[in-house]
């Protein structure tokens, strides 16, 4: 009979029928973990509804996961779609305005690395960010040129 990795209980015959072999958890721990994952997701969505992850928000999320005895990697994998949505929204918003600020860019990278988005999954977003930085530079340069020619015009 298998043993639950979470509560270390050996599941009986009935338990083994509903035992989750993928996660190694008994049905009771599996149910508790699913609830904890849902709480973690709700906390993430509410903390980051403004599109910004701060160190303080992150430590609150970590504390919540630890309190619920959640494995942080499993929790982050569970909300990966939400994280990607959020990063996508940041870029879409910046693209609509036509440029990205240094602070927004730092927030983007902080969120991506802290929330463990693998390089491969982040690739399409990173190339969009690269393009956005490119047009931001062009915009800054043309504004700078405008300022310079205004200076000369007034003389
Ligand atoms: Zn268990």
Q: Are 16 and 8 spatial neighbours (Cβ–Cβ below 8 Å)?
A: no
State in Å: Cα 6 to ligand 1 middle.
Answer: 5
State in Å: Cα 111 to ligand 1 middle.
Answer: 32
Mean pLDDT along residues 91-103: 93
State in Å: Cα 58 to ligand 1 middle.
Answer: 28
**More confident site: 82 or 150:** 82
Q: How far apart are CA 2 and CA 24, in angstroms?
A: 8
- For 1, the token pair is 């009979």
Tell me, rounded to whole angstroms, the distance of Cα 101 from its chain centroid: 19
Residue ranges with CB less than 5 Å from ion ligand 1? 4, 6-7, 26, 29
* Radius of gyration for the alpha carbons in the chain, expressed in angstroms and rounded: 23
Confidence of residue 155 (pLDDT cuts 50, 70, 90): low
State in Å: Cα 28 to ligand 1 middle.
Answer: 6
Give the pLDDT score at 17: 86
pLDDT higher than 70, residue 120 = yes
Q: What are phi and psi of 137, to 5 degrees?
A: -65, -45
Q: How far apart are CA 26 and CA 89, in angstroms?
A: 38
- Look up the pTM and report it: 0.85
State in Å: Cα 8 to ligand 1 middle.
Answer: 6
State in Å: Cα 39 to ligand 1 middle.
Answer: 19
State in Å: Cα 17 to ligand 1 middle.
Answer: 14
**More confident site: 1 or 118:** 118
Q: How far apart are CA 80 and CA 74, in angstroms?
A: 10
Nearest to 37 by CA among 13, 45, 96: 45
State in Å: Cα 5 to ligand 1 middle.
Answer: 7
Q: What are phi and psi of 15, to 5 degrees?
A: -60, -35
Mean pLDDT along residues 31-52: 96
Give the pLDDT score at 146: 83
Q: Please, what is the average pLDDT of the chain?
A: 92
Confidence of residue 117 (pLDDT cuts 50, 70, 90): very high
State in Å: Cα 31 to ligand 1 middle.
Answer: 9
């Amino acid at each position: 009979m298998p043993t639950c990795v979470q509560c270390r209980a050996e599941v009986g015959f009935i338990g083994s029928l509903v035992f989750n072999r993928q996660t190694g958890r008994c049905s009771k721990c599996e149910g508790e973990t699913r609830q904890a994952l849902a709480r973690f997701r709700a906390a993430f969505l509410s903390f980051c509804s403004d599109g910004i992850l701060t160190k303080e928000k992150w430590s609150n999320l970590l504390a919540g996961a630890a309190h619920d005895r959640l494995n942080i990697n499993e929790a982050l994998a569970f909300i990966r779609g939400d994280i990607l949505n959020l990063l996508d929204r940041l870029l879409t918003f910046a693209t609509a305005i036509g440029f990205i600020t240094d602070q927004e860019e730092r927030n983007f990278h902080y969120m991506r690395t802290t929330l463990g988005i693998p390089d491969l999954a982040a690739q399409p977003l990173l190339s969009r960010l690269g393009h956005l930085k490119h047009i931001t530079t062009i915009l800054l340069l043309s504004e700078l040129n405008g300022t310079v020619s205004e200076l000369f015009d007034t003389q």
